[in-house]
Structure formats: C-alpha cells, structure tokens
Structure 1
Amino acid sequence: MPAIRLGLAAVSAAVVLLAVTASPSFAQKKYDTGASDSEIKIGNIMPYSGPASAYGVIGKTEDAYFRMINAEGGINGRKINFISYDDAYTPPKTVEQARKLVESDEVLLIFNSLGTPPNSAIQKYMNQKKVPQLFVATGATKWNDPKEFPWTMGWQPNYQSESIIYAKYILKNKPDAKIAVLYQNDDYGKDYLKGFKDGLGKKADSMIVAEDAYELTEPTIDSHIVRLKTTGADVFFNITTPKFAAQAIKKNAELNWHPLHFLNNVSSSIGSVMKPAGFDNAQGIISSQYLMDPTDPQWKKDKGMIAWNQFLDKYYPEANRADASVMYAYIVSQGLVHVLKACGDNLTRDNVMKQAADLRDLELNGLLPGVKVNTSATDFAPLSQLQLMRFKGETWERFGDILSGDVGG
C-alpha cells in the first residue's frame, strides 16, 4: 500500500510540475540588447538647442513620465533607463547620436526622436541595424511604410492628411480663394505642401498664387511675409515650426494683412506660439488637433486631464501647462508603456515592433474624445483623426466633426 501511495504522489507531482512549466507566467524570458530582468534602455534624440529648441520640452516631459513609471514599479518589474541626447535639429548630429545610442549605450530602441530631417537621416541606419525607430515625433507620411522600413513607425496624424483636411475646408467654404503658402524648405514642409495640393486637386494651380520656402537657418521670415502679402492672397497656409510660426503671425499683424490663416498643428501651441505672437494677432486662425488643449476649461473635470495635472504636479512642476508639446509627450509616452507592457517577458526588438503594430482602438489620457490609436502589420500610422479648431480670445475653439484626410497611395 505505501508503494501505491508513493506512486500516486509521484504522478501528482509530475502533473503539477507539467502544469507549472506549461504556464505562460513561467515561459522562458527573451531579451535583446537593451533589456534585462531589471532594466529597459530607451534611447531618444531631441533638439534641446538650436532653431527647434521649443520642442525640447517633449524630451523633458518624457523623462518625467518614465520617472513616474519607475516610481510605480516600472514595466513588469523592470525600470526604464531613458537616455536622451541633443542634436540641435541637425541631421549629421542626429546620426552621431543614434550611433551612440545603438552601438555604445546599447538601447533596445529609439523612441520619439524629433523632426523630419533628423529622422530621415537615421531611418536607413535604424532599419539596417533592425532597431525600432518607434513613434517618431514628426507627421511625415513616409513613416508609414512597413514594407520598405519595417523598423520605423510614426505616431501623430500625418502632414498630408492634415493639409488635405484644410484643402477640403477651403474648397467648400472659400472656393474662389487666392492662396499663399509659406513652408520650410525640407521634407517636413514639402510633405505638407504635397498633401495640400493633392487636397485641392485640379484647382491647385489656379488657387495657389504664391509659394515661398524659407530655410531653417534664417533668423527671421519677415521678408517672406512681405513678399506673400504683395500677391493679394486672401488665404494663407502657414507651414512653419513654432519660432517661425510666431514670427509670421506677428508680421501679418504689423503689415495689416488679414487673410484666412491656416496654421499647421505642430505649431498650434498656445504657450510656445500663440501667446508669444500676441493673442490679438492670432484671432481667427484655423488649425487642427487630436489632443486636448490644457488651457480649455471644458476639460477641467476630464479624468485624463486630472491625471495629467497630477503627473505634472509631482514629476514636472515647472512645466508650461499651456504648451501643447507637454500634452503630446504625455500621450505618446503612454503609448510606449502600453507596447512594452504588452511585450511581457519577450523584450526582443522584433516583438516590440510586433506589439506596436497591433494596437486596436487604444484610448489614452489626453486624446480628444473619439480619437483612438490603431495600427496593423500594414498600417504604421497610429493616429489619423483630427478636429478643426479656430483661435478665439486666448484659446482654441474646436468645431465640426472628427475628420480623417485620406492619403492616396
């Protein structure tokens, strides 16, 4: 009898052992360079200096957010080691910093590095190295190309979609418009311009009476505004980064030129653009948005806005809460944390991209109601929805429906 009892016990133990080893929680851990039982190394490149330094608050906000995540226990027990370098919005410097992050710091991925020219400079390198270039901080349409660049993914609504929405609005509400366009002479500016022309369709040649490109190295764009005013245009599409956007708004007012003014949403921040330009000068400007405006009182009791304020109170109290870039950084950081949590104990670069390409109707604190994050293996554009807004008083007023601009091809 004892022998029989011993046999049953052995069988029971074997069954228990089999159940335990088969359990997902005991599955073998997988790591690539940059990940371990205790740490996840995340790289980042930001223009903390130079002509686009207004965006530097994005990196500072992300650093604060990951400090909060670490204080709360990290990602599945692992702490984020966030390594962020300055490239001054200079592509050669971006290349240098990307190599340092990948080859010396040995990060798992590079996250939300800013700017179209800087990210363009490292896109081939990142894909050759098979290191995720994840949720880049630029709306260029080129980031949604999983076939050619499977290691690069965008985040915000792309520039062509946005400008198509403006073009459709003009065709409907001001079909006889004479349009002047000011744009930055690089991939960022040209991407917006292409979408705008595509949106106008056959009428683009007749409606656009002037196109003027400025260089990022120019100290001021005043002369371009003077030139555009002489064309007699009654619509102005302002495709500029924050410093130059504020200059353009001011100069328009000085010249007493008051066309219907469209401003790309990457420069719609009240704190870094509209206030410096002067609220009186900015009245009636039209832009678009997909995230909540922190200055809008209607969001005061929204749970996402409450969480955002609580986060800033504790981890980044000196932040300018009127700067939309702070909210942007908060939202995209939530997106990365969601992806890393979904990776579980399989923290390989391949699985990071796999999880990033499987986001379904993800709602994040700070996004406008109805705006959701969606990706797939063939769609690397997480956000695609926008709502038009008009500047009134000291804030933006949203109007119309949540829209999506269809980009052909």
Structure 2
Amino acid sequence: MLLSNEWRAAVAAGALLAVTSVAPAQAQKKYDPGASDTEIKIGNMFPYSGPASGYGTIGKVEQAFFQMINDQGGINGRRINFISYDDAYSPPKAVEQTRKLVESDEVLLIFNPLGTPSNTAIQKYLNAKKVPQLFVATGATKWGEPQKFPWTMGWQPTYQSEGIIYAKMILKDQPNAKIGILYQNDDFGKDYVTGIKLGLGDKAKSMIVAEAAYELADATIDSPLLKLKAAGVDVLVDITTPKFAAQTIRKVAEMNWKPVHYLSSVSQSVGGVLKPAGLENGKDIISSYYLKDPADPMWKDDAGIKAWHAFIDKYWPEADRTNVLNVYGYAAAQTLVHVLKQAGDDLTRANVMKQAANINDLTLDTLLPGIKIKTTPTDFYPIEELQPLRFDGEKWVPFGPVLVGSVQNN
C-alpha cells in the first residue's frame, strides 16, 4: 500500500514537473488573427488588371518567393499563406479588398500594397484596426510618419529622398547651376520638388530659375519644356513618368538644348523609355537606383543575382528576367521574411511592427552594394540610399559613391 502511494506521489510530481516545464514554452507563443502554430496569413493587393496591370508581376514573384520559403520549411516552422487580390489600381476596390482581407480572411498584416491613391484610401482604416500596412509599394513620403500612422511603413526610397540626392549632386558638380524643374502635377511630382528644395537648402531660391508642371492628361510635354529653355536653364531635373520621360528626352534633343539632365528613377527603363526616345538622345543622362539589374553583365558572377536566377529557374521560369519589378518583389518579400523570423513566436501585430521598426543594416541579395535596410521606431524609411547612375548610350553605369537622401535630417 505504501509503495502504491509513493508511486502515485511520484507520478503526480512527474506530471507537475511536466506541466511546469511546458508552461513557459507555451506562454512564449503569442498570436493575433492570421497567425498560429502552423500558418501565417499575409494579405496583399496589386493591380492585376486595369491601367497599371504591369505592376501585377510583383505580386506573382512574391507568391513564388513565399512558395520557396514554404518548401524550405516556412518561417520558424509556419507556412506562409499569401492571399493576394486584384484592386485594379482603384481606391474604392482597394478599400473593398482590404476589408475582405482583414474581416473575412483575418490576415495578420497587409504587405506591399501598391499605389499612392489605393494606400491613401486604406491607411486610416488599417491604422484604426491596428493592422500593419507594411512595406507599402510607393515612394510617397507619407508612409514614414509613425507619430501619425504607427501601423504604416514604406519600403523603397522616397521621392523626397531621391530629390535630396539630386540636389546634393548638383551642389557638388554644378554649383553655379540654373536649375529648371519639370514635374508631374500631383503628389508624385510635388514630393520630388520638395526633396530638391530641401537638399538645396538656402540656395534653392537662387539656383532654381524655373519650374514647369504638366498634367497626366496632357498630349505632349512641349510647352513646359519651351518655358524651361527660355528661362536659361542649364540643369534640368526631369520628374516625369515613362511616357512623358521619353517625350522629354526626344524633345530636348530636337531643340538642340544641352542641359545637364537628371531623370527620376521611375523612368529609367531602357526598353520602355530610352529606346523610344532614341538611345543616342539619352546619352549622359543622370539617374539613381538601389537594386541590381539582372540583365546587366556586370552582375553575372554576383552571388545575390545568381540566387535570384536560381529562384526564377525553379519557381517562376516564365518570368521576364529583364523586368526589374521581378527583382523588386523578390527583395520586398525577402525583407518581410526577415521581419517575421525576427518576430519569433510572438506573432502579434504589435510585435510585427516593432520588429519592422528595428532593422539594423540588413543586406539583401538584390540590393546594390553599400545599400542597406535600416529602421528605428522613429524612422520608418527602410531605404534612404541610392547609387548614382549615368546612361552611356546603351546601359546605366554606376558612378561615384552611394548617397544618402535622409528625409529625417531635412
């Protein structure tokens, strides 16, 4: 009888020990909707149809990237369930799809939604719901205002950052410049103009001799260009989208006007802009970027680009390897995976944002050398560095050091 009681006591003690040893491990796991022991639900929207459908390729490459991660065992043992809807680049549609992702699909976060109008339409809703609007796919400056919107963070360099960098280059290389700014009359163009003026500082008023805006509905860019040339501009800062960039480059050549020409990075496509404009007309244009171009022979032996090609070979062989958007999607997804791994077993929305706001010098396969991702609780601009480029008549060639265009310090 004594032996039986001792045995029972021993069993009870063992059971208690087991419970107490397991309890701390269980307590470490924290989940919000969209996360569990086996899964992480990620919501997303891209314009797979409509006027901006070309950007849909980003969503496809991200889907393929997360499949690769799942095949490798997921993130801390959890599979990624990537739910991506078509918003057709329509703000009302974006609102509808966002509500569906949050309220019906119950995703943990919204990742890399594209477009300034669409993201503006969903920003207040997601912040009210305390759902991360993480690594937004636009360069608008307003995605880095944690004091106003603590649940929203951008990813790519801002238009202001790029403007600041061009200003720094002009101050160094053309200190006596008569600057003319050509810009699209919307948030995109105005963000760049703000950056240029911030970068020039006290010299902005004396160095900028003319500004000329155009509307998206305009048929040509001729009128604003004639205005800038007449003002005696010898440094042209060209803040245009691809259609108007090609027109500008061609028209400047036709006018036999030879200003130093800075071109916004969104319009540096060789196939989509420089070729239609005439490659010879684009020679010596200056721009900047932050991602490697896999079509450029200079990266053929680069380990990061080799990893990207191996991924494309296995997970999306039909992808256009010359389209830098497929590099963009890969890099953005790689950043999110880093954040989720860093979050560990605390997969609450608050902790995801905490980890996203504490990235220290992250290097990625496809970022240009010297460019790293850094964030802090007060700095929601992950990439603020750009590599200056000059077009040699065939391709973009890097020159000079990587430059920082910090919005925080201006």
Instruction: Give me the TM-score of the superposition, normalised by structure 1.
Output: 0.89
Letter in 2 for 1:177: A
Q: Which residues of 2 match residues 6-85 of structure 1 at below 5 A? A: 6=7, 11=13, 14-15=16-17, 17-23=19-25, 26-27=26-27, 29-85=29-85
How far does the alpha carbon of each residue in 1:126-173 deviate from its partner, in whole angstroms, 9 at most, with x for none?
211211110011222222211111100111222222211111211221
Opposite residue 70 of structure 1, the aligned amino acid is N
SS at match of 1:153: strand
Q: Which residue of 1 aligns with 2:284?
A: 284
Instruction: Note if contact 1:58-1:329 (Cα within 8 Å) is conserved in structure 2.
Output: yes
* Contact preservation (8 Å) 1:113, 1:119: yes
1:297-336 CA deviation, whole Å, 9 max, x = no partner? 2221111110111111222223332222221211111001
Residue by residue over 1:38-69, the C-alpha shift from the partner in whole angstroms, topping out at 9 and shown as x without a partner, is 43332223234455444332222222222322
1:59-96: per-residue Cα shift (whole Å, max 9, x none)? 22222222322333333333333233344444344333
**Distance in structure 1 (CA, Å) of the matches to 2:39 and 2:216:** 38
Unaligned runs of 5+ in 1: none
Alignment of 1:137-286 (within 5 A): 137-218=137-218, 220-286=220-286
- Give, in angstroms, the shift of residue 219 of structure 1: 5.3
Q: Distance in 2 between matches of 1:315 and 1:217?
A: 39
Q: Is the 8 A contact 1:234 1:260 kept in 2?
A: yes
Decide whether the 8 Å contact of 1:269 with 1:325 is kept in 2. Answer: no
Change (3 A) 1:217 1:348: farther
Cα offset for 1:179?
2.0
SS at match of 2:381: coil
Corresponding residue for 1:343? 343
Are 2:284 and 2:393, in contact at CA under 8 Å, matched by a contact in 1?
Answer: no
Distance 2:256 2:45 in 1: 40
RMSD: 2.7
Letter in 2 for 1:140: A
- Paired residues of 2:384 and 2:406 also in contact (CA < 8 A): no
Deviations 1:342-375 (A, max 9, x none): 2233322112111111212211111122222111
Range that drifts further, 362-371 or 92-101 = 92-101
Partners of 1:364 and 1:158 in 2: CA distance: 19
Shift of 1:13: 6.0
Alignment match, 2:318: 318
Gaps of 5+ in 2: none
> Quick one: which amino acid aligns to residue 22 of structure 1?
P
Q: Does 1:299 align with 2:299?
A: yes
Q: Secondary structure at the match of 2:153?
A: coil
Q: Which amino acid aligns with 1:265?
A: S
Secondary structure at 2:152 match in 1: coil
Q: Which amino acid aligns with 1:19?
A: S
Percent identity between the aligned chains? 64
Report the Cα offset of residue 193 of structure 1: 0.5
Deviation sequence 1:255-276 (CA, Å, 0-9, x none): 4433211112233333443344
Distance 2:212 2:50 in 1: 23
* SS of equivalent residue, structure 2 residue 84: strand
**2:85 match: secondary structure:** strand
**Paired residue secondary structure (2:354):** helix
Task: State how far apart, in whole Å, the 1-side matches of 2:63 and 2:271 are.
Answer: 20
Q: Given residue 33 of structure 2, which amino acid in structure 1 is its aligned partner?
A: T
Secondary structure in 1 aligned to 2:367? Answer: coil
Partner secondary structure for residue 113 of structure 1 = coil
Q: How far off is 1:186 after superposition?
A: 1.9
Partner amino acid, structure 1, of 2:24? A
Structure 1 stretch displaced more, 42-51 or 351-360: 42-51
Q: 1:259 to 1:304 in 2, by over 3 A?
A: same
Pick closer, same or farther for the CA change 1:235–1:177 going to 2, 3 Å: same
Matched with 1:400 is 400
